[in-house]
Structure 1
């Protein structure tokens, strides 16, 4: 009996072929897995890109304040005459040159817009000068020379001029405002530079003394 059982052949293994629906379901499942994997990889890459951009925006690409300086103010033409007859009068002519510099520490250039420099004498506007647009290249310093013709009629209209001329000194102010724009990749910033200087003009020496300046930069 045992020999009969051992000699009996094994039943063949039946393989059930997959139906079309099963094949489609399997392909759909594999496709979804690939889409999910691609989506995860894309999301991770985008997150890393955002992190890198944020880091660069606050380090390398951060817009820095330009440094503005009033280097010197010179009188290139200056003359004062005190006329006594018939009444004391002052005749005056004055031309000054304001030398300024703008240092750009950014990795992009700064475009300068139309600017102005105004001269005041005891609160009276006695001169205006227009500074044309310009460019301060990246990591460079640009110098600006502004020539200003003082309007004598406005100057002599001040009731304090005669007394100041007799004392030998005149206190005047210059005020410059320079707008600009800097763009680093997608970061765009408008900048406004202001310079205010107070000086004493020594009439006998025909020169400027005791000049003090303040500078402000606003992004």
Structure 2
């Protein structure tokens, strides 16, 4: 296993990632914004448990949500039409990542992890999406923007379907600004229900390399309220 150098933010080539556990590429290093940026630029992300050294991953296959492949159930369409929640971007990044960190016992979002992503947020690279019920923050998500890709990291809900409403609303917003792909990292029931699927790491990297240096309009990330597509209103 590759041990990262504390004095360098370089990662080994992703094709050297282990098959078992799937995608484990490197261990160690810090969680500075500079290292995180270097990781996402090459399709790598951190994930580790409390008490462990940072572990860095690039799994094969990779879970993604393609443009035009979002699945919205009939039940969710009814929920969206009710407009129960107000959705915003970058109104409460610190609150969102804090909520994600305490949503379940054994979370990996430790203080040093939060500090790294908060640093990325201050640089305009990490972003949050919030769902509000009145003035109460009841759901949301955060992730990293890499060119025309959005790499989702974590979601939380304090009320039914709040995080799904936040994500679906953000999905259409991101597409309006020419967003091309949502990186879901590893497929789970929640992301699969929204239309995410697995593609090979090679195909994912091909997409990443194509779009990572394309600048999205900064207006996409201005603190703002966003609304669902007219299809549901």
TM-score (norm 1): 0.21
Higher strand share: 1
TM-score (norm 2): 0.20
Higher helix share: 2
